[in-house]
Structure 1
Amino acid sequence: MPETDRIPKPYRIGIDVGGTFTDLACVDPSGALTFVKTPSTPEDQSVGVLTGLGDLAARLGLDLAGLLSATDRIVHGTTVATNALLERKGARVGLLTTRGHRDVLEMREGLKPNRYDLLMPPPEPLVPRHLRRGVPERVGHDGTVVTPLDEAALDEEIARLRSAGVEAVAVAYLHSYRNPAHERRTAERLAALMPEAYVTLSSEVLPQIKEYERVSTTAVNAYVGPAVRRYLGSLERRLAEVRFEGGLFIILSQGGVVPLGEAARLAAATVLSGPAGGVAGSRHVAALTGACNLIPFDMGGTSTDISLVADGAIALSADGGLAGERIALRSLDIISIGAGGGSIARVDGGGILQVGPESAGAKPGPVCYSQGGTEPTVTDANLLLGYLDPEHFLGGRRRLDAAGAAAAMDRLAASLGASRDEAAAGIYRLVNLKMADGIRLMTLRRGVDPRGFAVLSFGGAAGLHAVEVAREIEVGRVIVPAMASVLSAWGMLNGDLRYEVARSHLADTAGLNPSALAALFRPLEAEATERLRAWFDGPIRLDRSAQMRYGEQIFEVDVPLEGLDLAAPGSVAALVERFHRRHEDLYTYASPGQEVVLVNVQVAAVGRVEAVDPAGAMPADDQPVAPLRMQRAYFDGWREVPVYAFGTLGAGCRLTGPALIEAETTTVVLGAGDTLTADRFGWLDIRLRPAA
């Protein structure tokens, strides 16, 4: 073993690229956390990443090369795929599919977002019709070859795609999930005739039943794949140039962590990469605090992400999508709404105040950033309401332009016929209502009563709004960790390595027996374990699940199989019972007398990484804390309120609002009559005043 390999590398770094800021969190073996926030660079995210790493090194008293040579692992959440889809700036894609099936992408199962809107224009497919090419071939539903692949015709279609300047090719033949031979042969011909193209096969991306979902997911993978591959390659080279020799991993939408090569292959699985870190961190917060029912509330500069931790567990769903495109890969169940610190306020044609979803982003940013922004945002409103101090933003490293924000707010107020204070308070109230509605979608629409949960506030802007949002949905508790502003980056360091394998097996459960059920999972277990072993040499856990439905339904329910011995007598009956219970949890009813159909089986091989816990408990200190200063702020009228330093609140310290709790990269607004207690980590445990 080389001498350098025996030198301990104490640091682990999580990097979360957001729409406005890039967050970096670095922990040492004791759990001590050092973090920075730096403006994101959407034109090339790696520029912001390297800048942030340089800032992080300076905080640790190191140069960049010194930090990276002492770093064992970097886990990164990227928005490259997300931005490519949202902005329609992905690759020029060609689709090769079974002749007669090239319009599946356009027909979209005949569905549209608003079925009663007769004037709604049809969505523009990611692949235009002239680049969707049919190939003579046919595999039956049982995997038998009905029509052999016509290689001469295939070569002609590949030549057409090449001459059209196609950068990426999606291959999705009918029933290839049963027999991928034709897709694999097509990949060989593409490698010979279009060696520079990014090629993705539906039998590798989503080997499951349902043609539209499989074709759409494969097309999305091809559309974002080249951009993701370029970015990851560029980042790897940049890091190598500054002596990084540790492991570089990407967190996927399902919360698992994978090496760069796997993320580039399954690029569509990175569309929720950043928010997934927040959910992973939220699950770990639940374990640390004992608050097993949490509503993770992640408000950044561009959007707010809302998820659910129930009984300490997080839910996965295959019903996801982004920007109107169906992505049927399993992902964490997250709702994203266009409400963040940079959300722009405006007056619509009817004279009504609107906030978002348009955002000022990182550039130009809110007006108060003095980077060219002209329209008032949520951050500008928070500044003018006195919740932010213009001299102490980002620890004093950036001075906010209160005069510029006031001038922009005055223009908006004039359009509303209101005062500046009324306009700013209206923006604050309206964005809180939008985020409360997002929580209702995540909870009440799923049959969950949010009043039995606590709101977990994180993201740079969340502390300013979390208490009022919780009040709106009648939740009585808010938890704010010390690393709230960078919890997604910190959470990535708690993400396990994960490789998932799924196969379709359409069968009436009445015809299954325990040995047949166990046999369905056995090859998937072997494949998942073998693939994960290529990256990970530690202990592996296998998570099994099944997607099931009632006979007449057209959608499936994901049923976890944890603790179920598949080969034991009665396992099939236990599986069916779990499905009934899960269906009732989700949709409030079950139909035990109906036929239950098994559709897909899934196995995830999970390599557990060492958890990152906060460094040592805070010393107990229940004595009154002196405020840093008094500040004029708006709490149903203007008043002088105390401002406390987040990091000075010892375990057991209690405060009563109204008050502001200020950290370097976030501020928490404590309402009148609300009480705050610092827990053993110095985290804030806020109890809202009882409703009148």
Structure 2
Amino acid sequence: MGNQRVRAGVDIGGTFTDVALEFDGRIHTAKILTDYQKPERAIVRGLQAAAEEARISVKEIGTVIHGTTLATNSLIERRGARTAFITSEGFRDVIEMRTEGRFEQYDLGITLPTPLIARDSRLTVGGRLNAQGDELVPLDIAGVHRAIELLRHGGYESVAIGLMHSYRNGRHEREVRDLIARALPDISISISCEVSPQIREFERFNTVCANAYVKPLISSYLNRLTGALEAEGIVCPLYLIHSGGGLMSLASAARFPVRLLESGPAGGAIFASDIAARFGLPEVVSFDMGGTTAKICLIEDQAPKTSRVFEVARTYRFKKGSGMPISIPVIEMIEIGAGGGSIAHVDDMKQVRVGPESASSEPGPACYGRGGKRPTVTDADLALGKLDPNNFAGGSIQLDTAATRSAMNEHVATPLAASVLAAAHAIAEVVDENMANAARMHAVENGRDLERYTMIAYGGAAPLHAVRLCEKLGIKRLLVPSGAGVGSAIGFLRAPFSYESLRSAVMSLADFDASLVNQLLDDMETEVSGFLRDAGHQGEARRELKAYMRYAGQGWEIPIAVEVGRFEPGSIARLRESFVKSYTALFGHAVEGLDLEIVSWSLSLRTEVTSPQPVQAIDGDRCGNGAPPVAAAHREVFDAKTGKPLRCAIFTRDKLSPGIGVDGPLIVVERETSTYVSPAYRVIRQQDETLLVERRN
């Protein structure tokens, strides 16, 4: 076993694999191109590089915390296992019919997302439970055996099982699973009553299908990762970050890989929350832009917003409903295909389009010199002067300016009859406006005004684009923390052990069944306690209980915080009072004369983490009047707002004096990223090395 004082966070992204190694209170980092054939090789190389910087052996690492977008990318790119879906008779097409809602009401040519499982791989069996979980029709055992034969001869690697009302009673699903497991011991099986025991069959069915689809891929990867670490002498606990922002065991991750879908972005939200707590910021929008995607998350009172359902891969202008719904506890954010590696092209209407296709790390942007021939956002940033070709990624990658100009000219400039500089400007503006639109959409969906918020930017590409987003969104203050280029990996080191269990059981307060509720809570307590025990946590954890309630007749519910404990018939009055108070706060009024319904319950356990050391921000009103630092160099950088190249000062973060404001235009360079500050903003380095970028007037 390694030294428990040495902890490593590892984040695999679509382009880079980031490592943050914490030793004696210091963070040592590494950024390695992601290895698509064997992602574990990049992890080992990154750990070796970070350990070398810390002057320790990799064998001294005492804990590895890992997050990955491999499961998400597998769903988006449809690179999962050959999967079948078994459901109740009459419900074969639920995942294709969806909810029959239209995410774009007036688009006559609307195209719904293709279901994850094709129709010829969706099988049905007889048997039926009612909404209370009571058996109406016995399970058709002969029908299950017929399905098994189809699975046997269809070459399926994985099977998802989702039967009607199994969230109330999973007996039929377990019977089907056991019969398949005995007949086909090598096939991977997922059942919805374990993956997502929640009401609403479309979301539940889609979630269990997603779990089954990525399960063989993730299981194989985790086995290879464990072997690769052990081969290097790294024998220590390995944890995964789940989508809710907590640590989970290797075994749980292999069983429920759908919980890993937002694991990398969740680490970034934890990182931003830690920075928000450090500076005492009540309203924050986090902006994470890596090589493949960009993520926007609202953080209020130093905690990210959470949800029970989120969408993967929205396909239509970031519209809610145009993606693949996954019903698991998750940190709520919006994610779009806009990263440094996002590929640009000109469409038939002579409009510049950027993403969601990405050059990733193989072959990468044209400027990487690894065979990429199409222009990307990184190529545009290089052409605009925002990147130094001789000092990219700390000098580890020499950027090819000629390759960038060639790709830009062939695919964008020539079709538009424009210069390479104009083409690069168009690409940057399109991707920045896409991200700004996504942020506006997310804010509107949550009823928030972003102009009051502080932005926290992290990820390799975010600090280059963050000021332009602030200009578009009217945001006055931006923070770029130390280590921003590997922010998600650092966030992993701040994550608690946590888990949330969900159960659905619709009941009105008029028919409140205290014994049933207590039984549900006992089952949830067993689940969450076992989860934390499997992860190796033996200490105390804070419990939070929520009831998801609505007025009878409404289609959706709101979360109500409930005191943890046993329920009695007299608990109804407290539930009613809490709901009316929360509903009035959200919608401005209560509704008289309607009964209330409880739809679902959630119980979460969360361990306490060390609070960050508070930092008093030094802003324009309190910054010093000392001599400004001397720039290391100057170069021309094209500024989007002024529409012209400007002479831009170049600084390294460590050469900026704490508390001394420096007006833009300027660029602050460091090994993992660079921060561009436009003429309308100034930068003030804080005592903890965070950069505060604020509007000058």
Does the pair score TM above 0.5? Answer: yes
One-letter code of the match for 2:668? I
Secondary structure of the 1:603 match is strand
- TM superposition shift of 1:550: 3.0
Question: In 2, distance between residues paired with 1:344 and 1:582?
Answer: 44
Q: Report 1:110-149 matches (<5 A).
A: 110-120=100-110, 123-149=113-139
Structure 1 residue 555 corresponds to structure 2 residue 556: yes
One-letter code of the match for 2:146? E
- TM superposition shift of 1:457: 0.7
Question: In 1, distance between residues paired with 2:5 and 2:391?
Answer: 32
Q: Report 1:181-580 matches (<5 A).
A: 181-323=171-313, 324-411=323-410, 412-512=412-512, 521-535=521-535, 536-561=537-562, 570-580=573-583
Please point out which of 90, 96, 99 is paired with 1:106. 96
8 Å CA contact retained: 1:459, 1:486: yes
8 Å CA contact retained: 1:279, 1:491: yes
Name which of structure 1's ranges 147-156 and 174-183 shifts more when overlaid on structure 2: 147-156
Secondary structure of the 2:4 match is coil
TM-score (norm 2): 0.91
In the other structure, the counterpart of 2:8 is 13
Secondary structure of the 2:427 match is helix
8 Å CA contact retained: 1:355, 1:431: yes
- TM superposition shift of 1:622: 5.2
**Structure 2 unaligned blocks of 5 or more:** 314-322, 619-623
In the other structure, the counterpart of 1:630 is 634
Secondary structure of the 1:263 match is helix
Question: In 2, distance between residues paired with 1:183 and 1:248?
Answer: 31
TM-score (norm 1): 0.92
8 Å CA contact retained: 1:614, 1:681: no
Secondary structure of the 1:376 match is coil
In the other structure, the counterpart of 1:678 is 685
One-letter code of the match for 1:483? G
- TM superposition shift of 1:402: 1.5
1:390-425 per-residue CA deviation (whole Å, 9 max, x = no partner) reads 111111222211222223333322322222222222
Question: In 1, distance between residues paired with 2:80 and 2:680?
Answer: 50
In the other structure, the counterpart of 1:664 is 671
Question: In 2, distance between residues paired with 1:593 and 1:368?
Answer: 66
Secondary structure of the 2:675 match is strand
- TM superposition shift of 1:509: 3.2
One-letter code of the match for 2:576? A
1:545-590 per-residue CA deviation (whole Å, 9 max, x = no partner) reads 2222332332333344479997786421333125404643xxx776
One-letter code of the match for 1:350? M
One-letter code of the match for 1:228? I
- TM superposition shift of 1:261: 0.8
In the other structure, the counterpart of 1:179 is 169
- TM superposition shift of 1:49: 1.4
One-letter code of the match for 1:571? R
Distance 1:592 1:531, change over 3 A: farther
Question: In 1, distance between residues paired with 2:185 and 2:584?
Answer: 50
One-letter code of the match for 2:255? R
Distance 1:25 1:611, change over 3 A: farther
1:437-477 per-residue CA deviation (whole Å, 9 max, x = no partner) reads 11111213321011111010111111111011111111100
Question: In 2, distance between residues paired with 1:464 and 1:592?
Answer: 52
Secondary structure of the 2:637 match is strand
Name which of structure 1's ranges 631-640 and 236-245 shifts more when overlaid on structure 2: 631-640
Which ranges of 4 or more aligned residues in structure 1 deviate by more than 6 Å? 513-519, 562-569, 611-618
Distance 1:150 1:639, change over 3 A: closer
Please point out which of 29, 32, 47 is paired with 2:24. 29
Distance 1:530 1:574, change over 3 A: farther
Question: In 1, distance between residues paired with 2:405 and 2:466?
Answer: 24
8 Å CA contact retained: 2:543, 2:564: no
One-letter code of the match for 1:248? L
Secondary structure of the 2:14 match is coil
One-letter code of the match for 1:284? D
How many residue pairs align between the two structures?
A: 676
One-letter code of the match for 2:23? D
Question: In 2, distance between residues paired with 1:77 and 1:582?
Answer: 36
In the other structure, the counterpart of 2:82 is 92
Distance 1:430 1:107, change over 3 A: closer
One-letter code of the match for 1:344? I
Secondary structure of the 1:426 match is helix
Secondary structure of the 2:185 match is coil
8 Å CA contact retained: 1:253, 1:332: yes
1:42-93 per-residue CA deviation (whole Å, 9 max, x = no partner) reads 233212212222222332334xxx31x2112111111221121111111111
- TM superposition shift of 1:340: 1.3
Question: In 1, distance between residues paired with 2:398 and 2:120?
Answer: 53
8 Å CA contact retained: 1:649, 1:678: yes
One-letter code of the match for 1:467? V
Question: In 1, distance between residues paired with 2:127 and 2:502?
Answer: 24
Question: In 2, distance between residues paired with 1:398 and 1:616?
Answer: 37
Question: In 2, distance between residues paired with 1:297 and 1:575?
Answer: 34
8 Å CA contact retained: 2:248, 2:532: no
1:505-556 per-residue CA deviation (whole Å, 9 max, x = no partner) reads 2122355498986775354234422432333112211121222233233233
**Identity among equivalent pairs (%):** 34
Question: In 1, distance between residues paired with 2:435 and 2:486?
Answer: 20
In the other structure, the counterpart of 2:318 is none
One-letter code of the match for 2:324? E
Question: In 2, distance between residues paired with 1:226 and 1:281?
Answer: 30
Distance 1:555 1:43, change over 3 A: farther
8 Å CA contact retained: 2:549, 2:600: yes
- TM superposition shift of 1:214: 1.6
Distance 1:402 1:172, change over 3 A: same
Name which of structure 1's ranges 524-533 and 445-454 shifts more when overlaid on structure 2: 524-533
- TM superposition shift of 1:364: 1.8
Secondary structure of the 1:346 match is strand
One-letter code of the match for 1:545? K
Name which of structure 1's ranges 228-237 and 641-650 shifts more when overlaid on structure 2: 641-650
Question: In 2, distance between residues paired with 1:124 and 1:139?
Answer: 29
- TM superposition shift of 1:613: 6.9
Distance 1:537 1:582, change over 3 A: farther
8 Å CA contact retained: 1:532, 1:607: no
Question: In 2, distance between residues paired with 1:647 and 1:553?
Answer: 56
In the other structure, the counterpart of 1:597 is 597
Secondary structure of the 2:19 match is strand
- TM superposition shift of 1:660: 1.0
Question: In 1, distance between residues paired with 2:356 and 2:464?
Answer: 19
Question: In 2, distance between residues paired with 1:482 and 1:253?
Answer: 24
- TM superposition shift of 1:649: 2.5
8 Å CA contact retained: 2:252, 2:531: no
- TM superposition shift of 1:35: 0.3
8 Å CA contact retained: 2:239, 2:247: yes
